[in-house]
Structure 1
Amino acid sequence: MLHPSKFTFSFGLIGGSNLTISCGEWLLANGHQIIWTLPRGKSIADWATQKQIAVFDSQESIQATSHSVDFIFSIVNDLLLTPEFLKLPRRFAINYHNALLPRYGGVFATSWAILNKEKEHGITWHQIESTIDTGNLLAQRKFKIKKSDTGYSLNQHCYEAAFSAFKELLLPALESGNPGYQKQDLKKTDLLFSA
């Protein structure tokens, strides 16, 4: 029996930015299903409603349904996902992080990069574990920091890098049925919670 060269999957989508919508549109355009969303802003809820995707307001409300998915994407999401919620996907949950892990885990990574006068920055797509920003690395993309960059502009560069890595690296790896990953060296982590 021939195996398909590209697998299609069902997804849950959590997030609150244009990047969330861009990734969702790319999933749909490539034959995948988004079963539900947990929007972190009105624009995501409006987009999901327009696409006739189920919209939920809490992790608990999703857990109370039978809306099973292969993967969960957390893209620009301020919620900590509970261990019970992370058991929902048949495969695993994936997070977008606006820095190169294992360095700069936690929040305000772009501000820390500017304050520390870093020469380059980047993004990471990683598996979600119960401890923040410690999961296996699935895709990363680096770029140079310009002298004129601010925390805001660096976040915009991160969104661009995240979307290109999503399209060119992450989704093709998932569709192949064999997404490789790299374990993080957690001794190299700077877990940051304030700037």
Structure 2
Amino acid sequence: MTDATIQPSSTTGNARLRVVFAGTPDFAASSLQALIAKQDALNIDIVAVYTQPDRKAGRGQKLTPSAVKAAALEHGITVEQPLTFKKSVEEGQQARATLREYAPDVMVVAAYGLILPLEVLNTPRYGCLNIHASLLPRWRGAAPIHRALLAGDSETGITIMQMDKGLDTGDMLYKTHCPIENDDTAQRLHDKLAEQGAEAIATVLADLQTYQNQATVQDDTHANYADKLVKTEGEIDWSQPAAVIERQIRGLNPWPGTYTFLNGHRVKILASLALNDSQMTDLPAGTVISIGRKAILVACGANEAHQGSDSSDDKKNSTLALTELQFAGSKPMSAEQLCHGNKLDDGDVFGGQAL
């Protein structure tokens, strides 16, 4: 979207809409940067930015500002970093009072990371809008991008939602659609949706009143909870079908990443090829079938469609082609590098536990 396609917001007439932005990671920073660039076109003023407190990061564990804070400071926008909005503690009371002083017309929220109590949601004149990386109500919760990939969804998107006291349960104002490609990783899909989110929130703010008047209630019967990721989800269970493992490799890239064990030592699985359903094997799941220059073929569990079948062909295991691995203490290695090395042999079996 270009500024030329944006019409000034009709919500407040000629008055510029006072916007408070709340977000923390790169995903949110993309929307903030877009709104900063389009303030005049959208007839808005970003009067303050809220983000998580600086966190220790890197080998030196230096306090590092969030991507949103860095973007705000670059443009001279005031930054607030409260630890809480809870009414039961003094800091939470002060955070609520400070927000009221900004007299916001609307608050835009994207991956902020703090729970906003009902009083906070009701502080802006037109409430709080959330940029959510899912076609609600499909994936509510902390990790919608990853869960869509892990589940094998064919598409995802952005929903601009009017926030309420529930977890991603508010009325939907606007949606964009994003096909999920066979080679999409969580990072790649994140980047696509960050761009769509920036365009979507600009579209809504350009005519906020119309979109709020046309809001659609979510159908709770279609909702799923996108649980927060944990590191242990990265361990590969080779008894699962190749399709499931391939989605796991893409869906958890770059974090927490996928891994397995070989002779008790951890091996990171960094990338794999698209599936070849015609390639079946009698070898047990986890067995390295062959090491080629283009890929390392590994036996996995029976395909999902064939599980429980009585056919002898359907009882065979599926296979997955790995293209990049990383052994402990080594740099990432391509299949071709492994083909010429001594790290892996035909017949090796992935799985088991750490020494």
- In the superposition, the TM-score normalised over structure 1's length comes to 0.86
Q: Is the 8 A contact 1:173 1:179 kept in 2?
A: no
Shift in alpha-carbon separation, 1:86–1:126, aligned structure 2, 3 A: same
5+ long unaligned stretches in structure 2:
1-7, 53-64, 86-91, 230-355
Residue 44 (structure 1) aligned with residue 68 (structure 2): yes
- In the alignment, what sits opposite 1:119? 154
Deviations 1:88-133 (A, max 9, x none): 1111100111110011111211111111111111111101111110
Residue 91 (structure 1) aligned with residue 126 (structure 2): yes
Please give the alpha-carbon distance, in whole angstroms, between the structure 2 residues aligned to 1:97 and 1:47.
Answer: 20
- In the alignment, what sits opposite 2:195? 160
Secondary structure at 2:207 match in 1: helix
- In the alignment, what sits opposite 1:22? 33
Flag the structure with larger Rg: 2
- In the alignment, what sits opposite 2:222? 188
Deviations 1:157-188 (A, max 9, x none): 11122122223x31222166865211111121
Residue 63 (structure 1) aligned with residue 87 (structure 2): no
Deviations 1:2-49 (A, max 9, x none): xx9744310111012332422431452323111211123444334333
Identity %: 23
Which residue identity lines up with residue 13 of structure 1 in the other structure? F
5+ long unaligned stretches in structure 1:
none
Please give the alpha-carbon distance, in whole angstroms, between the structure 1 residues aligned to 2:189 and 2:218.
Answer: 23
Which of 139, 146, 151 is the matching residue for 1:104?
Answer: 139
Which protein, 1 or 2, shows the higher relative CO under an 8 Å CA cutoff with sep ≥ 6? 1
Please give the alpha-carbon distance, in whole angstroms, between the structure 2 residues aligned to 1:5 and 1:29.
Answer: 11
RMSD of aligned Cα (Å): 2.3
Which residue identity lines up with residue 221 of structure 2 in the other structure? K
Deviations 1:73-95 (A, max 9, x none): 10221111122211211111001
Residue 80 (structure 1) aligned with residue 115 (structure 2): yes
Which residue identity lines up with residue 165 of structure 2 in the other structure? S
Residue 173 (structure 1) aligned with residue 173 (structure 2): no
